[in-house]
Amino acid sequence: KQEVTQIPAALSVPEGENLVLNCSFTDSAIYNLQWFRQDPGKGLTSLLLIQSSQREQTSGRLNASLDKSSGRSTLYIAASQPGDSATYLCAVPGGGADGLTFGKGTHLIIQP
């Protein structure tokens, strides 16, 4: 069964810093990996989708990389802003009909 771990669980940094969020998964036979953002009291917003054939994807200040062989993905946020404060979750297909398996997320606070 697929398991997803996200490190760190929480992170608080001053505005303007570049930061890296980590995601690891146990079953590397995945077709894709997705990063989401969740604001308090809200649903999830998809940030980036990386297909297994890709090594990275970029959207604005966000860059996500994928290393299937090592079962890892990182989300890089450049020049962080207070509006980036949220919980960031990564998810991979769980196998079979298990849907997506999510990590528990990294709770990010960007201090103004």
Q: Which residues bind other proteins (CB under 8 A)?
A: 31-32, 34, 36, 42-46, 49-52, 89, 91, 93-105
In the complex with other proteins, which residue's Cβ is closer, 51 or 81?
51
Distances (CA, A) of 66 to 24, 39, 48, 62: 10, 24, 11, 13
Taking alpha carbons only, the member of 82, 68, 85 closest to residue 32 is 68
For the CB of residue 28, give the shortest distance to other proteins in the complex, in Å: 14
**Whose Cβ is closer to other proteins: residue 10's or residue 79's?**
10
**Closer to other proteins at the Cβ: 68 or 80?**
68
Q: Which helix (H) or strand (E) holds 64?
A: strand 62-67
